[in-house]
Amino acid sequence: MKHFLNFINGDFVATDKTFENRAPVNNQVIGLVHEAGQAEVDAAVKAARAALKGEWGQMSVVKRVELLYAVADEINRRFDDFLAAELADTGKPRSLASHIDIPRGAANFKVFADIVKNVPTESFQMATPDGGTAVSYGVRSPLGVVAVICPWNLPLLLMTWKVGPALACGNTVIVKPSEETPATATLLGEVMKKVGIPDGVYNVVHGFGPNSAGEFLTKHPGVNGITFTGETRTGETIMAAAAKGVRPVSFELGGKNAGIVFADADFDKAVAGITRSCFENCGQVCLGTERVYVQRPIFDRFVAALKEKAEGLKVGPSDMPGVGLGPLISAEHKQKVLGYYAKAKAEGAMVVTGGGVPDMQGEFANGHFVQATIWTGLPETASVVREEIFGPCCHIAPFDTEAEVIAMANATDYGLATTIWTQDLGRAHRMANAIEVGLCWINSWFLRDLRTAFGGAKGSGIGREGGVHSLEFYTELRNVMIKY
Is 230 one of the binding residues for ligand NAD (CB under 6 A)? yes
* Contact (Cβ atoms closer than 8 angstroms) between residue 345 and residue 395: no
Residues numbered 329 to 388 that lie near ligand NAD (CB under 6 A) are: 388
Among 160, 184, 203, 229, binds ligand NAD (CB under 6 A): 229
Q: How far is the CB of 235 from ligand NAD (least distance, A)?
A: 7
Q: Does 252 engage in binding with ligand NAD (CB under 6 A)?
A: yes
Residue 210 lies near ligand NAD (rule: CB under 6 A): yes
Nearer to ligand NAD, 41 or 294 (CB): 41
Task: Kindly tell me which of 246 and 425 has the beta carbon lying closer to ligand NAD.
Answer: 246
Residue from 327, 415, 461, 463 in contact with ligand NAD (CB under 6 A) = 461
Stretch that binds ligand NAD, among 106-114, 147-155, 367-375, 444-452 (CB under 6 A): 147-155
Output the residue with the shortest Cβ distance to ligand NAD.
209
Residue 149 makes contact with ligand NAD by CB under 6 A: yes
Q: Exactly one of 278, 286, 393, 394 is catalytic; name it.
A: 286
Size of the site for ligand NAD (CB under 6 A): 32
User: Is position 218 an interface residue for ligand NAD (rule: CB under 6 A)?
Assistant: yes
340 φ/ψ sector (left φ>0, alpha ψ -120 to 50, else beta): alpha
Which of 263, 261, 211 lies closest to 237, judged by CA? 211
Which range in 89-97, 150-158, 318-326, 379-387 contacts ligand NAD by CB under 6 A?
150-158
The residue from 286, 303, 396, 420 that contacts ligand NAD (CB under 6 A) is: 286
Q: Tell me if 237 contacts ligand NAD by CB under 6 A.
A: yes
* Least CB distance to ligand NAD at residue 255 (A): 5
| Binding piece for ligand NAD, criterion CB under 6 A, among 17-25, 67-75, 131-139, 456-464 | 456-464
Residue 394: phi and psi, rounded to 5, are -155, 155
Catalytic residue among 180, 252, 280, 388: 252
Q: Answer positive or negative: Cα dihedral of 181, 183, 189, 192.
A: negative
151 is a contact residue toward ligand NAD (CB under 6 A): yes
Active site residue 286: yes
Q: Which is nearer to ligand NAD, 170 or 182 (by Cβ)? A: 182
**Per CB under 6 A, 255 contacts ligand NAD:** yes
Per the DSSP assignment, residues forming a β-bridge with 442 are 420
235/238 Cα distance (integer angstroms): 5
The distance of closest approach from Cβ of residue 103 to ligand NAD in the complex, given in angstroms and rounded to an integer, is 18
- By the rule CB under 6 A, 146 interacts with ligand NAD: no
Q: Would you say 149 or 303 has its CB closer to ligand NAD?
A: 149
Q: Is 282 a catalytic residue?
A: no
294 counts as binding ligand NAD under rule CB under 6 A: no
Closer to ligand NAD by CB, 113 or 253: give it: 253
The reply on whether position 473 binds ligand NAD by CB under 6 A is: no
Question: CA torsion, points 348, 374, 25, 76, in degrees to nearest 10?
Answer: -140
Q: Judged by CB under 6 A, does residue 289 bind ligand NAD? A: no
Three-class DSSP labels, the chain: CEEECEEECCEEECCCCEEEEECCCCCCEEEEEECCCHHHHHHHHHHHHHHHHCHHHHCCHHHHHHHHHHHHHHHHHCHHHHHHHHHHHHCCCHHHHHHHHHHHHHHHHHHHHHHHHHCCCCEEEEECCCCCEEEEEEEEEECCEEEEECCCCCHHHHHHHHHHHHHHCCCEEEEECCCCCCHHHHHHHHHHHHHCCCCCCEEECCCCCCCCHHHHHHCCCCCCEEEEECCHHHHHHHHHHHHCCCCCEEEECCCCEEEEECCCCCHHHHHHHHHHHHHHHHHCCCCCEEEEEEEHHHHHHHHHHHHHHHHHCEECCCCCCCEEECCCCCHHHHHHHHHHHHHHHHCCCEEEECCCCCCCCHHHHHCCCCCCEEEECCCCCCHHHHCCCCCCEEEEEEECCHHHHHHHHHCCCCCCEEEEECCCHHHHHHHHHHCCCCEEEECCCCCCCCCCCECCCHHHEECCECCCHHHHHHEEEEEEEEEC
What residues numbered 165-194 form the site for ligand NAD, per CB under 6 A? 176, 178-179
40 or 74: CB nearest ligand NAD: 40
The answer to whether 44 contacts ligand NAD (rule: CB under 6 A) is no
Q: Which of 265, 313, 337, 416 binds ligand NAD (CB under 6 A)?
A: 416
Please state the closest distance from residue 254 (CB atom) to ligand NAD, in A: 3
Q: Among all residues, which ones are annotated catalytic?
A: 252, 286
Question: Which residues make up the interface to ligand NAD (CB under 6 A)?
Answer: 149-153, 158, 176, 178-179, 208-210, 214-215, 218, 229-231, 234, 237-238, 252-255, 286, 388, 390, 416, 456, 460-461
